Amino acid sequence: MVSEQKFKRRRLSEIKIARQLEQDTVSLYPGFRVLLELFPPLHQNKQLLYLNVRAKLIAFPSGGFCGNYQWGIKKVFDTLLNKVVEPSTAKYPKTVNIIGPTTDTFYCPSDIAELKRLLDILDLKVHTFLSVNTDVNKIRTMANAALKIVIACPYDYTLGLVSFIKEQWGLKTDLVVFLVKPETYNAVNVIKKLGVSRILIEPENDELETLFKNKRFDVIFGNYHQLKIAEDIPIKYHVAFPSFDYINVYDGTPFVGFRGTAYLTQQLGNSINHYVEVIG
């Protein structure tokens, strides 16, 4: 374990390095911070570094163990928007920026494909997804897009899934777990209005394990850790990060849109056929 004083010193050192590079330099990956720590001379000769990488480098505080993963993602987004995006020079009609999903958002390939398909029906084209399958030029020209859609992950996914279960399947959600406190205004009350019996925010795994053993649940939508401890729940769906044991690269199994509705309903129907006892 790292002592609190050492942890604070390390954090201050990270902030100092980030500030030194902030004016004219960002790597899009936290590994650049590690590179600077291993090779201190690098940030002492920025011109040489620019020549080597042939790119503009931008520094951002990665957070270390100071916060949850969403804090780091937010800092990267803030840095990209403030340091890379340029003022609008011309509007691209019928184009959309989608901000929020990242490569570790569960079912990202499929959901992106479905969102693009639905927007195409409306004669709208995606300018860029921040930050999935995009490039520097598209990020630089984001301000030229006519519209933007912001998805507050994972809250919007949770809200959509709970609404879907109630409206499409006519079922009640007994428990919603937020591993990270949602920042969306009035988030908990909005979820409660959908009839959710209980909402847990940032619970420990021990608390969830006890709850799963003492109360009957028939279906769970969760991540790797939650599914691991939900031994007695018959129907399990892997829908959240982390997903260490799950490969998800095919783009034909979305959770969103019309195809997401069909896919999820198909999955539930097939699962019930294997666990008919949940109907009783």
> Which of 106-110, 128-132, 190-194, 196-200 has the weakest average pLDDT?
106-110
CA distance 190 to 262: 25
DSSP state of 223: -
Q: In what order do the strands lie in the sheet with 92-99?
A: 125-130, 92-99, 145-150
pLDDT at 136: 86
pLDDT at 35: 44
Note the pLDDT tens digit of each residue in 248-263.
Answer: 788 888 988 999 999 9
Q: How confident is the model at residue 166 (pLDDT cuts 50, 70, 90)?
A: very high
Average the pLDDT over 77-96 and give the result.
90
More confident residue, 138 or 68: 138
pLDDT at 214 over 70: yes
More confident residue, 208 or 133: 208
CA distance 58 to 75: 12
Average the pLDDT over 214-235 and give the result.
90
pLDDT at 175: 95
* Top-ranked range on mean pLDDT: pick from 14-18, 58-62, 162-166: 162-166
Whether the CA torsion 52, 53, 59, 65 is positive or negative: it is: negative
Structural domains of the chain, with CATH: 7-83 (no CATH), 92-150 (3.40.50.1980), 155-266 (3.40.50.1980)
Those residues whose C-beta lies under 8 Å from the C-beta of residue 212, and which sit 6 or more positions away, are: 220, 229, 230, 231, 232, 233
pLDDT at 201: 92
- Calculate the dihedral angle through the C-alpha atoms of 60, 156, 226, 233, rounding to the nearest 10 degrees: -170
